[in-house]
Amino acid sequence: MTVGAVTPDIASWPPLDDDKRAAGQQLLDWAADGNGPRLCRVRGADGSGKSALLAWLLAGTIDRPGITVHATVPSEGLTTETFAWELGRQLGYGPLSPARLLDRIAQDERPLLLLVPDLHRAGAGPGDLPAAAPRTLVAELLEPLLAIPHLRAAVEVGASELLSADGIEVVDLGDRTGVPAAHQASYTDLVAAVPHTSDGRPDWAAAPATVLRHILDAALSADDERATVSGLLSDPGFLVHGSATALTAVLADERIPVPGQLRRVWRRAAPELTAHHTDSAERAALLHTAAVGTDEVLAEFLHPLARHHWWTAEWNRQDLAVTALAQMPGEERRLLTADATGRLRTYDVDSGASVGAIGAAPAVGPGDAASVEPGSSPPRVRPAAVRPRSVAARDARSALLLDRSDALLPLVSEDDPTAAIVLGHIAEHHGSAALAGEESLVTALGSGGTRSPYAVVGDRSGMVHVWSLGEYQDTPRSCRVHERPVTAVTGVDTADGLTLTFSAASDGSVRLWETGSDEPMPVPVQQRRYLATALAAADTPVGPVLAVAWSDGELHLWHVFSGEVRVLPLPHPCDTLALTPEGLLLVGGPEGLCAIRPRLDALRER
């Protein structure tokens, strides 16, 4: 929240009915007073205008200085987990578990202002479980949130006593009902409103929104509850179109039988499936991605729905957690990967099948690389000490590694002295620079040029350096691209002979530098309030494409020459990316490695 010196004038806010002006002024005064109570309860009967009052406050903050609302989370039908995912998305962290969200907010330096409509309608799933009751969300998440000193919230509680306490602000709209409460339709009524296809199946794509939102809850109260719920969970069309928050709550109940591996599949996809922006085609693509490699029957059923989207999954190795990833140069379609233990392995690009292990990696400390004599082989000790977080492959037997200790390390075979000289010199150069000044400490490593490979190195000062990996180079081509530490780098050679490097920094900027020029492009490719966690680029059949993974759970594909950007939700947390010249996108992280096939022509469509 940004607090102005003077309370904003209610006359500058959207108009309010006369009977709501006093409540509006009270809510506005509370929001502007950073030294007052940190909780404001907005209470009143159904139809009294509570949600409308919060919407009025939010609308008035748009493009007006003085008050900033950082997140608005309508709570109807949300559980602790789904509320945490949505709040994390809006605050820019991406969907997080409740515990991780609390830790992240506690570390966030911003004073935060939240609006929480419909808390009294929170809860989902079987009524005999705690998740169905609003008080569970209060106890597990809202009360801990309100214990964080820099967080304030205005919460709609209906006529309930939720979050009641001494010393808080209360905006009371009274117990007079404004409109009659809506009748809760039965499962029979709701299912009767679902159109059918020509072959008699429910047409969930054409079902009314209110049916999709409430039919699963109604099924839990049906006479034949088990069969009714199982019927919905066995229908791929309902999985794609039904309420994602309701499905998440129901599938969390282990007592409910589900077909195949649906529970595991849904669990992987649920954080993104519950995002409000996700349309049915994207939901099908996300579910299909989670099902590939886990539940092939479900994946087969979902594929006809998913293939209508602009991207689909080719394969998914959910057993393969990776910390670093790079396409290997040459004709063979291989990926070089590193895992959290430091093991280096290769995989087939087209299938994800394991090809084999790479020889033992060197393990030297941050200062040891500087002690390598020019032309000598780099030191090699036990590989367990190396934990690569980035790799740049030279060929099938050698690579440059960026260790978690921030040291550049050469990986070479004993019978390849040329690779030892080239890679050892790069490690020596940056190791010596880091010893001379902390601003030269390497913070990012990427690669480019699948036929004539090179490494892109970023450092703490914002400099980007480009090295040939194929032949000895005394010094790199360097440029100060950023004013803040570089967090990710990559490069691509274009068909007309340009070498483009892309780099991201800790200020949320992504920049382009053409290495034949002395200066980077004057404006960022992108500038966001989130951090880019990984970059990859390739010269595809539609021209150069840049992939950027962001900390809020989005993955952006940028068609470089047209400037068009397409956004897809990350199927799981991303630490590393690779992009092949054919446009196959490899996404790696702690929850696996998957291959996504975007429709390249869609990258140029608005």
Of 450 and 49, more confident: 49
Q: How confident is the model at residue 396 (pLDDT cuts 50, 70, 90)?
A: confident
pLDDT tens profile 271-289: 999 987 668 889 999 999 9
Residue 353 has pLDDT above 70, yes or no: yes
**Interior CA angle at 581 toward 578 and 582, to 5°?**
105
Please compute the mean of the pLDDT values over residues 381-404 and round it to a whole number. 83
φ, ψ dihedrals at 393, nearest 5°: -85, 135
Query: What pLDDT is stored for residue 381 in this prediction?
Result: 33
Domain boundaries for CATH 3.40.50.300 within the chain: 10-172
Looking at every residue in the chain, the average pLDDT score rounds to: 89
Amino acid at 510: V
Query: What pLDDT is stored for residue 8 in this prediction?
Result: 75
Query: What pLDDT is stored for residue 38 in this prediction?
Result: 95
Residue 579 has pLDDT above 60, yes or no: yes
**Interior CA angle at 237 toward 234 and 239, to 5°?**
65
Residue 440 has pLDDT above 90, yes or no: yes
* Beta pairing partners, 388: 403
Domain boundaries for CATH 2.130.10.10 within the chain: 317-604
* Long-range CB contacts (within 8 A, 24+) of 226-235: 226/256, 226/257, 228/187, 229/256, 230/256, 230/257, 230/258, 230/259, 233/258, 233/259, 233/262, 234/259, 235/202, 235/204
Q: How confident is the model at residue 514 (pLDDT cuts 50, 70, 90)?
A: very high
Please compute the mean of the pLDDT values over residues 153-181 and round it to a whole number. 87
Pair of tokens at residue 411: 């990986």
Q: How confident is the model at residue 42 (pLDDT cuts 50, 70, 90)?
A: very high
Q: How confident is the model at residue 182 (pLDDT cuts 50, 70, 90)?
A: low
**Interior CA angle at 546 toward 541 and 547, to 5°?**
115
pLDDT tens profile 361-391: 443 444 444 334 444 444 343 344 789 999 9
pLDDT tens profile 539-571: 999 999 999 999 888 999 999 988 899 998 887
Please name which of 110, 118, 65, 67 lies closest in space to residue 92, comparing C-alpha atoms. Answer: 110
* Beta pairing partners, 280: none
Query: What pLDDT is stored for residue 458 in this prediction?
Result: 97
Question: In percent, how much of the chain has pLDDT > 70?
Answer: 92
pTM (2 d.p.): 0.86
Residue 189 has pLDDT above 90, yes or no: yes
Amino acid at 278: T
Of 570 and 30, more confident: 30
Amino acid at 32: A
Topology of domain 317-604 in CATH is: Methylamine Dehydrogenase; Chain H (2.130.10)
Of 138 and 382, more confident: 138
Measure Cα distances from 532 to 25, 488, 545, 547, 558 in Å: 41, 7, 16, 10, 14
Q: 3-state DSSP call for residue 502?
A: strand
The alpha helices in 307-356, defined as continuous H runs, are none
Local structure of residue 60 (DSSP, 8 states):
H
Beta-strand runs (E) in 307-353 = 311-317, 324-327, 334-338, 344-348
* Beta pairing partners, 403: 388
Do the beta carbons of residue 591 and residue 318 sit within 8 Å?
yes
Residue 141 has pLDDT above 80, yes or no: yes
Do the beta carbons of residue 162 and residue 138 sit within 8 Å?
yes
Query: What pLDDT is stored for residue 420 in this prediction?
Result: 94
Neighbours of 21 (CB within 10 A): 12
Q: What is the DSSP string of 395-439?
A: SSS-EEEEETTS-EEEE--TT-HHHHHHHHHHHHHHHHHHHH-GG
Residue 466 has pLDDT above 80, yes or no: yes
Query: What pLDDT is stored for residue 606 in this prediction?
Result: 58
Please compute the mean of the pLDDT values over residues 439-457 and round it to a whole number. 91
Neighbours of 360 (CB within 10 A): 16
Residue 450 has pLDDT above 60, yes or no: yes
Query: What pLDDT is stored for residue 539 in this prediction?
Result: 94
The CATH number of domain 10-172 is 3.20.20.60: no
φ, ψ dihedrals at 298, nearest 5°: -65, -40
Residue 505 has pLDDT above 80, yes or no: yes
Please compute the mean of the pLDDT values over residues 216-222 and round it to a whole number. 91
Q: How confident is the model at residue 446 (pLDDT cuts 50, 70, 90)?
A: very high
